[in-house]
Structure 1
Amino acid sequence: MTDTIKQKLLEIEQSENIKICYACESGSRAWGFPSPDSDFDVRFIYTRSVKQYLSIIEMPDTVGLPVNEILDIGGWDLKKSLKLFLKSNAPLYEWLQSPIVYYQSETFLKELQLLMPRYFSLRAGGNHYLSMAHNTLRDDLQKEEVKLKRYFYALRPALACLWIIEKQTLPPMEFDKLRVLITDNAIQKSIDELMDIKLVADEKTMITPVHLLNDWLTAILNYCKEQVPLLPSLLQKPDELDDLFRKHVK
């Protein structure tokens, strides 16, 4: 599948007249809890020519292919990406940490990664992950039967928020790295049991609610709700990002 993805990225470059700077996996495969039938969520950052950026006609700031059951491929223009980087867009910061990279230019990724610790706003990131986890717990995990995968869509952001609060740093993307924050062996065992099922179950698998995890999530999110407003709010000047944009324009 990697070869297919790389070929699709090359086709997008040619058909859209763009240059891809970086492409990675962004979904459950990168997070570390894929199902056998999980699709591939490919995300990329691209640039256009100086001539296109200087046109009075605005160019689209996203491109991609139609989504199917196997592939979801889409990308953001470099200018859009850097604007979101400045705003501490959490999904973008995750892409830049992905353990599955399909393409990267020689220096682009390293240059952005060096800026990440200084540009990431702890409060903005905390609010993002807190909202994700809270909404999933409230909307998806309170029924008589729930989708198995939704537990991981609540656990991962809850732990990312907790990481930001406790470590005051950008959280890692991968679930296994976030799990080190859990000190309760019963919670770890419960998660292991769900992981074992998810490795062989399809994306639509339903289970009865795990009340132990629901209670733990509720307690953690209540704690995070109190702590996130106390986190520092950061907004850097765009100068370094402007320089990076000018350097990497196609």
Structure 2
Amino acid sequence: MFENIVARLREIERKYQVIVLYAVESGSRAWGLASKASDYDVRFIYVHSVNWYLTIDPQGMGKKRDVIELPIEDHLDISGWEITKALRLFRKSNPAILEWMRSGEVYLQQTGFISGLRLLEKEVFNPQSMLFHYIKIAKNNWSSLHGKDVKIKNYLNAFRSLLAGKWIVQFHEIPPLNFQPLIEHAHLPKQLKKELEHLVEVKICGEQDAVHPIPCLNDYIEKELNFLIEAAGTWHGEKKDPTAQLDELFRMTLKEAWGEF
């Protein structure tokens, strides 16, 4: 599948006349929670040629499409962001990009772009913003865990986000992408950890999609959500504006990718 994905990315480069700077696996396969039936969630950042960015209309850039999305087929979900969109979101400590940077499955990496991003990561990381992101995902999944049967996927999504939030509070750093380190560092009660790891095994084996609600898991999610919400509300601090550095990274990447100007 790796070769197939790289081939698809090369097709995108030819069709859209872009260069894919960085492409990785995202979603359940990057989290260590995939079954055989799981999609491959490929995410990438790309750059157009110099002329695409040069316009006398100051609004011209805003009218141009800044994403490439392919229809999902053959368990392949492929989409990407244009470099300036990606850099603006990175400046806001966008969790998606910060997670992509931690993926263990890299399909393409061209130019020094991603290395440049990593050098600026501490400049943009906003613990409060990222914590609120994980709280929102955990809350959305937790709200669906009260029926007669609930999806295992929702349990794991809730816990992955919850434990990622706890990692941020404890270590003041971006959490790992893989689910297992989050479990190991959370110091969960023995029975709760056993229940959670069983759900992981069932999800990976693809034996079933749903289970009856598990009270100890639901109670833990509710309790820790309240803790995280309180913690997020006490976080303060300002970051320096990294725009000048990101502008320079954009120009350097454009020149390295296309060898122009």
Measure the CA separation in 1 of the matches of 2:44 and 2:26.
9
Letter aligned with residue 95 of structure 2: A
Corresponding residue for residue 33 of structure 2 = 33
Q: What stretches of structure 2 of length at least 5 have no aligned partner?
A: none
Deviates more, 1:235-244 or 1:222-231: 235-244
Cα gap change, 1:217 to 1:69, in 2 (>3 Å): farther
Map Cα deviations across residues 123-160 of structure 1 (whole Å, 9 max, x no partner).
Answer: 1001111111011101x211110111111110011011
Deviation, 1:70, is: 0.3
Deviates more, 1:124-133 or 1:105-114: 105-114
Corresponding residue for residue 219 of structure 1 = 223
Query: Does the Cα contact within 8 Å between 2:99 and 2:177 map onto a contact in 1?
Result: yes
Measure the CA separation in 1 of the matches of 2:235 and 2:106.
31
Q: How does 1:174-185 map to 2 (within 5 A)?
A: 174-183=178-187, 184-185=189-190
Query: Does the Cα contact within 8 Å between 2:30 and 2:104 map onto a contact in 1?
Result: yes
Corresponding residue for residue 117 of structure 1 = 122
Measure the CA separation in 1 of the matches of 2:134 and 2:106.
23
Measure the CA separation in 2 of the matches of 1:142 and 1:53.
50
* TM-score for both structures, normalised by structure 1: 0.95
Corresponding residue for residue 11 of structure 1 = 11
Deviation, 1:173, is: 1.2
Measure the CA separation in 1 of the matches of 2:206 and 2:229.
33
3-state SS, counterpart of residue 199 of structure 1: helix
CA RMSD of aligned residues (A): 1.4
Deviation, 1:233, is: 4.4
Is 1:44 matched up with 2:44? yes
3-state SS, counterpart of residue 220 of structure 1: helix
Q: What stretches of structure 1 of length at least 5 have no aligned partner?
A: none
Cα gap change, 1:233 to 1:173, in 2 (>3 Å): farther
3-state SS, counterpart of residue 205 of structure 2: coil
Is 1:229 matched up with 2:226? no
Map Cα deviations across residues 164-191 of structure 1 (whole Å, 9 max, x no partner).
Answer: 1111111111111211232222221111
Deviates more, 1:213-222 or 1:114-123: 114-123
Map Cα deviations across residues 48-73 of structure 1 (whole Å, 9 max, x no partner).
Answer: 11111013444310012112350100
Corresponding residue for residue 79 of structure 1 = 84
Map Cα deviations across residues 13-34 of structure 1 (whole Å, 9 max, x no partner).
Answer: 0000000100000110001111
Measure the CA separation in 1 of the matches of 2:39 and 2:237.
35
Measure the CA separation in 2 of the matches of 1:153 and 1:68.
23
Corresponding residue for residue 213 of structure 2 = 209
Is 1:127 matched up with 2:140? no
Measure the CA separation in 2 of the matches of 1:118 and 1:137.
32
Q: How does 1:133-152 map to 2 (within 5 A)?
A: 133-138=138-143, 140-152=144-156
Measure the CA separation in 1 of the matches of 2:176 and 2:140.
21
How many residues matched? 248
3-state SS, counterpart of residue 63 of structure 1: strand
3-state SS, counterpart of residue 29 of structure 1: helix
Letter aligned with residue 187 of structure 1: L
Measure the CA separation in 1 of the matches of 2:179 and 2:236.
25
* TM-score for both structures, normalised by structure 2: 0.91
Identity rate of aligned residues, in percent? 36
Letter aligned with residue 248 of structure 2: D
Measure the CA separation in 2 of the matches of 1:78 and 1:85.
10
3-state SS, counterpart of residue 41 of structure 1: strand
Letter aligned with residue 75 of structure 1: G
Is 1:169 matched up with 2:173? yes
